[in-house]
Amino acid sequence: MKLIRKIAAAVLLSCLFAAPTSRANVLVTGTRVVFPAQPGEVTVRLTNENTRPALVEAWIDRGDPTSTPDKADTPFLITPPLFRMEPHQDQSLRILYTHEPLPVDRESLFWLNVLEVPPKPDKTASTSGNYLQFAIRSRLKLFFRPAGLGDPAKSPAQLVFKVVAEGNGYALAVHNPTPFYITLAKAGLGTNGQAGTVDAGMVAPYSNLHLPLHGISQVPAVGAAVNFEVVNDYGALAPFAATLGS
């Protein structure tokens, strides 16, 4: 077990620099995990689409992209944490909350890591020439959601927007007065959403976020349209509209 963990930790940095064409064979269902405080557990499904088995290790961290399983310190347990997946087989990860105190008035953000370590090449492949082998890590947001926070689907409509000067240009200041994390996939000013655009970003509960604006040379008028899309609990894009405040 210790040897396997050392191998997984050693290849973790390699997987961070994997070539863009690298593709995970062990796929995670969904793009995010919403963890309700009640009943205090969720199940995440994995599928091995490869024709070869894979060694998989899963852990949760608090936001450190260089985290490793042996140093992860979160109020969650994963079973099984380390396992072999046969070709074209499914596996369920059961995530349990250990009841470490967390804020009850807002969501808390964690990250689920799924590390896929492919098997060694067979003797024919390994003796026929050089080869490069990557371990691939999938990393998904995990939102711990206390009970009684309301309807998350309505939270994007409560976002407050305004344009502020920032550096040599302008930024779209976003205020989130809700207890939910809200991920903006894109946003634009004007009736067609193209007068000024911003890159994607996530605003934490009861917090502010500044997103640099592209394509504007002056501050839009108060009341100008803001068209934006957010990522909902199911990983789909949901459109919303608002107006600029002062």
What's the CATH code of the domain at 201? 2.60.40.10
In this structure, are 17 and 101 located in the same domain? yes
Which pLDDT band, with edges at 50, 70 and 90, does 129 fall under? low
Tokens standing for 34?
């919403």
- pLDDT over 60 (residue 11): no
Determine the structural domain holding residue 183 and report its residue range.
152-243
pLDDT at 21: 43
Burial class (CB in 10 A: 0-12, 13-18, 19+), 175: middle
Provide the pLDDT confidence category of residue 109 given band limits of 50, 70 and 90: very high
Same domain, 20 and 134: yes
Which of 145, 164, 198 delimits the end of a domain?
145
Query: Which of 84, 111, 145 is the last residue before a domain boundary?
Result: 145
Residues 7 and 129 in one domain: yes
Mean pLDDT of 41-46: 97
120 & 223 share domain: no
pTM: 0.85
Query: Which pLDDT does position 18 carry in this prediction?
Result: 39
Residue 5 has pLDDT above 80, yes or no: no
Domain count, the chain: 2
**40 and 134 assigned to the same domain:** yes
What's the confidence (pLDDT) of residue 23? 66
Query: Quick one: 136 and 228 in the same domain?
Result: no
Does 60 share its domain with 139?
yes
Q: Chain-wide mean pLDDT for the chain? A: 87
Same domain for 119 and 191, yes or no, is: no
Residues pairing with 110 in the sheet: 142
175 lies in the same domain as 140: no
Strand-pair partners of 142: 33, 110
Mapped onto helix, strand or coil, the DSSP state of residue 125 is: helix
- What is the pLDDT averaged over residues 215-240? 93
Residue 195: is its pLDDT beyond 70? yes
CA distance 110 to 64: 9
What sign has the CA pseudo-torsion 217, 222, 225, 230?
positive
Same domain, 175 and 217: yes
211/196: higher pLDDT = 211
Mean pLDDT score, 127-138: 74
Phi (first) and psi of residue 126, to 5 degrees: -75, -20
- Helices marked H in 17-141 — which ranges? 123-127
